[in-house]
Amino acid sequence: MQNSFKTAVAAVLFLSSQAVMAQKSQILIARNSVAKLQASIANKEDSKKQLTIVSEGLKAIESAEKDSKTMKWSETWSIKSYLTSFAALIDTDAANSNKYYDAAIEAINKAKSLDKFDDNSGLIKASRHNILIKKQYKANESYFANDFKEAFTDLKEVSDSFPADTTLALNTAICAYQIQAYDEALNYFKRAKENGIRNPTVFQKMAQMYVVKSDNETAIKTLEDGLALNSYNRLLTNDYINLLLDTENFNKAQGLIENNLKVEKGSKLLYFLYGYLQQYGGNNSTAILAYDRALSSDQNYFDALYQLSLAYINSANETLKKTEADKAAKYNGFIDKAQYALQRANEINPNDKKTVQLLIEIYTRKKAADKVQELTRRLQEL
């Protein structure tokens, strides 16, 4: 009886040993698959062959991850995460690729939680790299499907992992901007800027967000930084000049406009802005010349026509203060020119109330009651 018991115990121990050996052999097969896959990658073999190697390794790992002992090994999950994350990149079937990706996410989380002594850090690092690449692919798909929230979530993790990559930072910022996460957008635009990006749009968007935050000083500095890298860029220059005007930095704005006019001699906007500054400073005659230059580039430039009419009205008012013998003729000449500019502006934009109101003022001065009544009715309809 005692001998029979010993025989039974020996049989159990033998079977248990066989089970352990079997699971270890599965791990060895999986390890071998990793080595074969790495060799295949180095030899630039086709993806079909590489997927075959992956399948062999995953078949072995499937047995190991179900065993009560090897399922607790970090190596089991590290191998699975590596194989599935790589398959997610090379499988051209979208459903299969996403299935591998989900499996890789689950496996790497288990691998990291079990890897107490960083024994499998190399496989985990390689797996994470593959997962991040796949996340970038998925983010691109989300972006082109206008799912900017999903794209931002994926790109944020990728950019945080590769902070020196300016393209990643820029794309992350754009997605954040699209979902109105402006603080996040500003952070990633700043990351791109700090890592040497030159794209003028980055500086333009950053400045716009600083303006929204009422931080005009930083907005101005940001545009100056952008212009230092993109001299005479039209969009940056225009934003910079407008911000200088909005913040009443008139002398700085005028100097900038004058310098840019030496380069962009045909810019209607620069001539318009130069005229506006001259007009603001009370120099109507120079403003008129500037508006005329702007209109020579675009005769239908509404803003220039409207401001030109104001400059003529101001000039007319100035003549009334003088004691010249022909001041009446000069006054009427300025008023006629103001009327002509306003009529052209009104033809371009008949629904602009300010233009109609000025025309009413002109016709009131000329005592043209019928025109005043007609325009007053039109103004009430607008």
| C-alpha atoms less than 13 angstroms from C-alpha of 142 in its C-beta half-sphere | 20
Domain 293-382: homologous superfamily in CATH:
Tetratricopeptide repeat domain (1.25.40.10)
DSSP annotation of 73: -
pLDDT above 70: percentage of residues in the chain: 94
Q: What's the CA gap between 105 and 111, in Å, rounded?
A: 10
Neighbours of 366 (CB within 10 A): 14
Confidence of residue 118 (pLDDT cuts 50, 70, 90): confident
Strands of the chain (E only): list them. Answer: none
- 100-105 average pLDDT score: 97
| 3-state secondary structure at position 237 | helix
Amino acid making up residue 42: A
For residue 218, pLDDT over 90 is answered with: yes
Residue with tokens 């929230």: 149
Among the listed residues 308, 303, 306, the one whose alpha carbon sits nearest the alpha carbon of residue 289: 308
For residue 264, pLDDT over 70 is answered with: yes
pLDDT (0 to 100) of residue 6: 42
In the structure encoding, which two tokens stand for residue 104, read together? 């890789």
Confidence of residue 24 (pLDDT cuts 50, 70, 90): low
**What is the CA angle 375-380-382, rounded to 5?**
95
Instruction: Give the contacts of 277 (CB within 8 A, at least 6 positions apart).
Output: 245, 250, 253, 254, 257
- 217-236 average pLDDT score: 94
Q: What's the CA gap between 214 and 246, in Å, rounded?
A: 12
Q: What's the CA gap between 293 and 227, in Å, rounded?
A: 25
24 sits in which H/E element: helix 2-42
- 220-241 average pLDDT score: 93
- 183-197 average pLDDT score: 96
- 45-52 average pLDDT score: 95
For residue 341, pLDDT over 50 is answered with: yes
For residue 19, pLDDT over 90 is answered with: no
pLDDT (0 to 100) of residue 25: 81
DSSP annotation of 347: H
Contact 60, 30 (CB under 8 A): yes
For residue 13, pLDDT over 50 is answered with: no
For residue 8, pLDDT over 50 is answered with: no
Contact 363, 375 (CB under 8 A): yes
| C-alpha atoms less than 13 angstroms from C-alpha of 352 in its C-beta half-sphere | 16
pLDDT (0 to 100) of residue 9: 39
Mean pLDDT of the chain: 91
Confidence of residue 209 (pLDDT cuts 50, 70, 90): very high
pLDDT tens readout for residues 75-97 = 999 999 999 999 999 999 999 99
DSSP annotation of 69: T
Residue with tokens 């910022």: 173
Q: What's the CA gap between 246 and 239, in Å, rounded?
A: 10
In the structure encoding, which two tokens stand for residue 357, read together? 């109101």
